[in-house]
Structure 1
Amino acid sequence: MNKLLYFLLIAINVLCSCRKKETPPVITKDPDYIKAKSFLHRQNDSAFYYFNRVVNRVMDSLQVANAYNYMATMQSDVGDYYGSQESLSASLKFLNAENVKHRRSLASNYNELGLTSINLRNYDAAVGFFDKAIFFTADSNFKLIYLNNKALAYQKQKDYARALEIYHAIIRKTTDKETFARILTNMATTKWLNDLSYNAAPELLSALEIRRQEQDRWGQNSSYAHLSDYYTTIRPDSAYYFALKMFDVAHGLGSPDDRLEALEKLIRVGPLQETRQFFKTYHQLSDSLLTARNAAKNQFAFIRYEVEKNKADNLTLQQDNTEKKYQLLKQQVLLYFALIVIIIGAFWYWKRKKRLEQEKQEAIRESRLRTSKKVHDVVANGLYRIMSELDHDSDLNKTALADKIEDLYEKSRDISYEKVPFSAGLFHDSVTELISSFANDSIKVVLVGNDVALWEKMSPTALFDVEHILQELMVNMRKHSRATRVAIRFERQDDKIIIYYTDNGVGMKDGVSYKNGLTNTGNRINSLQGTITFDTNIQQGLKIHLTFPVA
């Protein structure tokens, strides 16, 4: 119930925030601008149409900026907040902060952007926009209004301390009774939200009385909404009374949004026998309002589309008028162009012939290197692995040995093309078999983290490269490191695989050049778009970190 109450309070305060404009006097009174102002709040589709004509035709930048501002307000009123922000951004492009005559329009634009940001629940942005509105206004009354809206943004963030600090500061400077009642209402509500045991009724009722005396119907509507919410949990009958009052005032004001809000309150606190009728009325009004707003949004979009279409048609006509001149110029240009193309073409042919010859030679070199690499990875390392097993496993089964030699033979026959037999589901077994084959009585090998999930989403080509990288590391360990303990740990972090290799051998001294094996390892890591790091700062042994992406 409390969460629902807070949500409704947010809606109330947005409606209660002031959208009063600081519209400067128009320097050049364009007829379309005057027509648009005459239709404002009566026939907004007509007003939007004429304002849109102004922004696409009038040269006076200040008048165009104000027209965009009015269009943004109408879009915001029908719930098109993103369209409103687009219009306000367009308005700002026509204003100059250094021009004193533009500052009031800048303040109005930033205030409207702040209110739109509150409706979109982007409260940090709203605070920034209100600060700019305050900066650009020189009118003390408008400054109080913008400060009130800034406090409202802090209230939405539940930063009640900052909101109350602003309310306490501005209420002492307020001389206008309607503004005083608005700030008093917002301040009392914020105190209550900050501490639900706070008695906000005296201040809320005081603000209501001021609004009655000033015949401020919109203000009374706001007061009834706040009082109904305040009494919801402590005195439901009073909450029901004030919700009814709000409904009657909203009906008189012709505000469907406020009527919907009042009906929400009546459904929550009203007698059960009347709730069904309230609920029915709510849905009828909600559907009607949604239909009307969607129609307004579509109408605004259609108006803009028609204007843009007319502009495009005019550009097409202009293009047709220049087409003949263009064709004549084109013929002259083509003549010179053909001559240039012939010259460039001859030069290009010579360069291309030279480049193809270079590419051919490079392809031959790459083919030789690739074949050498395959011989090293497949045949040399395979033979070394079999020799290692023969040295340390006197009971090696002859059939198994023959199978391994036959497999190596088949691989050597197919060395002219790449065969990638790996799959992620079985690769962890291949890794275990490979690493374990280098263990013997004098070399202990520890393998950690090699499971099925580790190699998921790895391509067969990548698995092929990983297998040969691991094989190369183990072969180099056996040949050069004189290690007795080797540990290989696998780890997967998000979309990367990390392999930690550690042994207690003689290590790698600075200045030692890479042999073919480690060079191939580096090349394969590069093909995986990974990195290899040798830790040479340890006193004994060797540490290698390999990192590469999964996909």
Structure 2
Amino acid sequence: MKKQRYTFSKKTLLKYLLLIMSLLLVAVLLAQFCQRKIAKPKTDHTEEIKRLTNVADVYFDTDKKDSAIYTFNKIKALCDPKTNPIDYVYAVTCIAELHQKNCDYIASEASATEALPYLKDIKNPRYSWIVYNILGINYTHSYDNKNAIVCFKKAIKLKTSVWRKSLAINNLVVVYMEQRKYKEAAILLNILASQKNISSYDAANNNDHAYIVDNLGYCYYKLGNTEKALECYYEGLKIRLQPQNDDGLSTSYKHLSIFFQKANPILAKEYAKKAYDHASKINNIMERISSLSLLIKSTDGNELKKYSLKYIQLVDSINHTNKKVKNQFSNIKYNFNKDRAENLQLKALKTESHLQLERQKNRIIISYVIIAFVLMLILFLYFYLTSKGKKEKNDAIFSSEIRISKKLHDELANDVYQTIAFAETKDLEKDENKEQLLNNLDNIYFRTRNISKENSNICTDKNYPQAVKEMILGHKASEINILINGFDTIRWNEIDKNKKIILYRVLQELFVNMKKHSEATLASISFIIKNKNLHVTYIDNGVGIKNNTLILKNGLQNVESRIKTINGTIIFGNNSQKGFKISFTFPL
């Protein structure tokens, strides 16, 4: 039979591809056009941002935290961080710092984190330094020392002023002191103590130096070097006792009180009292509480009772104040969000009527483009898959025809020719010649029937197990015994139809190969399911693989290719004693 060929014209395929590309290009151009048309007109808020920033700065400097947060939130809402990152980052960092002053470190971290994506757009490293410093302080107060160290080290690496680097190093030192890494802290503090005039303001230089030497003294104290510790404490105290340099004076007194607690309790009490008096003078509640804790340790009797009551009152007062501040801030945040929502709603109502018609038109156009594209894609896939299916079908028919033709030629042509020659040359009147002729004709008949069976349709319904058994046992003869193990334990109705057909053909090829080539007298086939895979093992006692070399020809090559089509694996080999062995596995 002449092979029919169905081909999908390359020219037609090219036309479809060009059409699809054109549609895609039109869709992209339309999408860009629509995006430009419906783009919201931008309003310049520069002047309003500048005005509000001045107002917010005044609130910030006068410690009106609630008003400052409210105003900076307004600035944040007006800023576009992509086009105006500086004003946006300034607003969120100020909000973060105000939350930090209110001891709301979680809210402070959240605000500072909002600035991180836009730091890369700002050339001045000062803003990055501010953000990392705020985050580091928040992590320090939240006892997340690991992240605090990361942030402070990032701040130190930035190309900022010496004063900013010094401040970041100081903050890093505080973390080391919290971790009781006093040796590392002392090394950094000694470096800072050797630097002079790192700020342009004398008062700032004095305060910074006092802070450094006082912390250095505390590190020496913890490291057991009491002589150097006391020397540093007194140096820091001397600076802080000067006018305009009293920032941190309470801390100096507290450190000295701790230093003398065991050696001189009376002097320790005196320094603790001075620390409390100075904290009361500057109205620093946290310093008063920490000073009172030292006085409680240094007193007894009525004094102990008096200071204990003051301590309890202050702790209760600060808890009440914190709750009040948080409630006030919640109200401010709610009012701001409410105002912003109302403003956005009004803007949306004004613009919606103008944009609705344009959006509708654009949607219709885009919908048409998408529909056209989908239809063309469906048509293309239909023609392509139809052509491919016809080609594969014809290839399969052609392969079957070649295989059947070869089988007829190899297995029957010679026998028919020999039978004809026998009939022409022998005297058929003799009984033995007549018997031989009949045997030859029977042999030709059985071979023809086998070829017919090999290429007939395979039953895959409930009768499939019976069909497989009949096929296997059909190769049994008086000199060949066949054993089947585990066949009835398999649930054949749960196996895919295509896999049943492949298995049938593979077994057929194996037993045909056994009968023709192996010279076996005993063959066995076993079936077992493991891990949702069907394992089949075939063994015979025939000639096996010669010289450990397997040549894949005809049937065996078909076996391998068929198993691979169902994602299976196959292993060829000799039987352990004598003969041939093959095992294959495929997923169910």
Indicate the SS of the match to 1:200: helix
What is the rounded CA distance, in whole Å, between the counterparts of 1:514 and 1:263 in structure 2? Answer: 90
Offset of residue 188 of structure 1:
0.6
2:435 match: none
- Is 2:57 aligned against 1:37? yes
Contact 2:289 2:311 in 1 (8 A): no
Measured after TM superposition, the shift of residue 181 of structure 1 is 1.0
Distance 1:266 1:309 in 2: 52
Percent identity, aligned pairs only, is 18
For 1:203, the aligned partner's letter is: C
Hey, what's the Cα distance between the residues in 1 that align with 2:248 and 2:93? 24
Alignment of 1:85 with 2:109, yes or no, is yes
Cα distance in 1 for partners of 2:47, 2:237 equals 40
1:403-445 CA distance string (max 9 Å, x none): xxxxx99x95987579xxxxxxxxxxxxxxxxxxxxxxxxxxx
Partner of 2:313: 281
Aligned to 1:327: 360
By how many angstroms is 1:204 displaced? 1.6
2:320 equivalent to 1:291: no
What's the TM-score, normalizing by structure 2?
Answer: 0.52
Q: What letter is aligned with 1:164?
A: A
1:147 matched to 2:169? yes
State the secondary structure of the residue aligned to 2:125.
helix
| Aligned counterpart in structure 1 of residue 348 of structure 2, from 316, 319, 322 | 316
Q: Within 1, Cα distance between the matches of 2:378 and 2:371?
A: 10
Shift of 1:73: 0.6
Question: What is the rounded CA distance, in whole Å, between the counterparts of 1:83 and 1:140 in structure 2?
Answer: 30
Query: Residues 42 and 200 (structure 1 numbering): CA distance in 2 closer, same or farther, change over 3 Å?
Result: same
Paired residues of 2:207 and 2:240 also in contact (CA < 8 A): yes
Q: Secondary structure at the match of 1:515?
A: strand
1:211–1:219 CA contact under 8 A, matched in 2: yes
- Whether the 8 Å CA contact 1:71–1:84 is kept in 2: the answer is yes
- In the alignment, structure 2 segments of 5+ residues that lack a partner are 1-45, 198-204, 393-457, 469-485, 496-528, 540-573
Q: In 2 relative to 1, CA 256–335 (structure 1 residues): closer, same or farther, beyond 3 Å?
A: same
Provide the residue aligned with 2:145 in structure 1: 123
**Does structure 2 conserve the Cα–Cα contact (< 8 Å) formed by 1:27 and 1:63?**
no
Alpha-carbon distance, 1:507 to partner: 12
Task: Flag the 1:106–1:307 CA change in 2: closer, same or farther, 3 A.
Answer: farther
Partner of 1:483 in structure 2? none
Identify if the C-alpha distance between structure 1 residues 205 and 296 changes in structure 2 by more than 3 Å, giving closer, same or farther. Answer: farther
Q: 1:109 to 1:283 in 2, by over 3 A?
A: closer
Question: 1:278 offset after TM fit, Å?
Answer: 3.5
Letter in 2 for 1:37: D
Contact 2:260–2:268, Cα closer than 8 Å, also in 1: yes
Say whether the 8 Å CA contact 1:45–1:299 is kept in structure 2.
no
Are the equivalent residues in 2 in contact too, given 1:114–1:129 (CA < 8 A)?
yes
Which residue of structure 1 lines up, in the alignment, with residue 74 of structure 2?
53
Corresponding position: 1:194 with 2:216: no
**Pair 1:295–1:124, CA change in 2 (3 A):** same
**Aligned partner of 1:105 among 124, 127, 131:** 127
Q: Secondary structure of the residue that 1:216 maps to in structure 2?
A: coil
Structure-1 separation of matches of 2:245 and 2:47: 32
**Superposition pairs for residues 168-183 of structure 1, below 5 Å?**
168-175=190-197, 176-183=205-212
What amino acid is aligned across from residue 153 of structure 1 in structure 2?
Answer: V
TM-fit CA distance, 1:285: 2.0
The 3-state SS of whatever aligns with 1:182 is helix
**Counterparts of 2:229 and 2:120 in 1: how far apart (Å)?**
44
DSSP 3-state at the match of 1:30: helix
Instruction: Show the counterpart of 1:8.
Output: none
The yes-or-no answer on 1:256 pairing with 2:276 is no
Partner in structure 2 of residue 242 of structure 1: 271
Q: For each residue in 1:75-134, what CA deviation from the matched residue of structure 2 results, as whole angstroms up to 9, or x when unmatched? A: 1112232332333333344445773xx233333333323322322333343334334433
When residues 28 and 147 of structure 1 are mapped into structure 2, their CA distance, relative to the original with a 3 A threshold, is: farther
Separation (CA, whole Å) in 2 of partners of 1:339 and 1:43: 62
Q: How many residues align?
A: 374
With over 3 angstroms needed to count, the CA separation of the structure-2 counterparts of 1:273 and 1:312, relative to structure 1, is: same
Q: Cα deviations across residues 234-272 of structure 1 (Å, max 9, x unaligned)?
A: 555544443333333333323333233334434444424
1:68 aligns with 2:100: no
Map 1:314-463 onto structure 2 (within 5 A). 316-317=348-349, 318-334=351-367, 412=489
C-alpha displacement at 1:35, in angstroms? Answer: 0.4
Q: Distance in 1 between matches of 2:581 and 2:225?
A: 75
Gaps of 5+ in 1: 1-25, 359-364, 376-407, 419-463, 477-505, 525-551
Deviation digits for residues 344-367 of structure 1 (CA, Å, limit 9, x no counterpart): 677789999999xx9xxxxxx9x9
Quote the offset at 1:63 in angstroms. 3.2
Indicate how the Cα distance of structure 1 residues 193 and 350 shifts in structure 2: closer, same or farther if over 3 A, else same: farther
Q: CA 1:312/1:415 → structure 2, altered by over 3 Å: closer, same or farther? A: farther
Q: CA deviation at 1:179?
A: 1.6
1:226 to 255, 272, 276: 255
The 1:218–1:332 alpha-carbon spacing in structure 2 relative to 1, beyond 3 Å, is same
Check 1:340–1:172 CA distance in 2 against 1; reply closer, same or farther (3 A cut).
Answer: closer
How much does 1:223 deviate? 1.5
Select which of 240, 248, 264 maps to 1:211: 240
1:54: how far off?
Answer: 2.0
Match of 1:400 in 2: none
- Mapped to 1, the partners of 2:88 and 2:77 lie a distance apart of 8
Give, in angstroms, the shift of residue 331 of structure 1: 4.3
What is the Cα-based RMSD across aligned positions, in Å? Answer: 4.8
Correspondence for 1:515: 583
Distance 1:334 1:97 in 2: 38
Q: Name the SS for the 1:79 alignment partner.
A: coil
Q: Name 1:427's counterpart in structure 2.
A: none
Structure 1 residue 220: Cα displacement: 0.8
Secondary structure of the 2:180 match is: coil
Q: Which residue of 1 aligns with 2:155?
A: 133
Task: State the one-letter code of the partner of 1:174.
Answer: K
Hey, what's the Cα distance between the residues in 1 that align with 2:279 and 2:116? Answer: 34
Q: 1:28–1:63: 8 Å Cα contact kept in structure 2?
A: no
